[in-house]
Amino acid sequence: MDPLKHLQSPILRFASLLFLLSPAVSFGQQVIQRGPFNKPAQVLDETQQWTIPLLVSSDKEIEVYIADITATTWLSRNYPDFQNRGTYILSTFTRYKTVNACRANQISWGNGDAAHLDACNDIGYRVRQLKIDTGQRSVQLLMAAMIDQDGDLVPESIQDSSYFKTWDQLDATTQKAILKTNDLVTRQMQRYDAKVHNDPSPRRTVR
């Protein structure tokens, strides 16, 4: 983790990025609706839309989901940056299969004290907002927070630290999630581009 210097408080920065929240939404807002076996049935993405999440990677400790990147609202918001810069903003939702997975995540963020580790008994997920750069093949963490067992955002867990990594620097599970997601996004952007230009054949997009 490479913490960066920030001039804003975590909550102000969180709000300024419009991460999952709108001005009318409280910081205890539900962002995940649980389904059977505690798996996410619906998630609230950064466009303020509830969508059915897509499972993009898993291992024995975690499952990584993304919001539905086929949704028109998500595509229209990210289309200009994808076409012009090869970038897009992505919300990911990590489901902890075990308490130890949550604790390992807390420790990696410098929260290895007893209070944070004990809090994992009530935490079911972690949500992140990422900026993906397809040209640099990199990912930048913009914001992250813990989600409790009821699917509600935990305000005090908001992280305003940021890191930048190339895809080959990610752990295997996260790397698999990003690669699969990027393939899905690229195909959806091609279709959306064709629709925008009223062209029946997909155009080439920035990779």
Q: Give the pLDDT of residue 202.
A: 53
**Mean pLDDT of all residues in 124-148:** 94
**Banded pLDDT at 28 (limits 50, 70, 90):** low
Q: How far apart are CA 163 and CA 3, in angstroms?
A: 6
Phi, psi of 126, rounded to the nearest 5 degrees: -130, 135
For residue 74 the two structure tokens come to 């998500």
Q: Give the pLDDT of residue 199.
A: 60
Is the pLDDT at 17 greater than 80? The verdict is no
**Mean pLDDT of all residues in 46-73:** 94
Q: How far apart are CA 10 and CA 16, in angstroms?
A: 10
Greater pLDDT, 112 or 23: 112
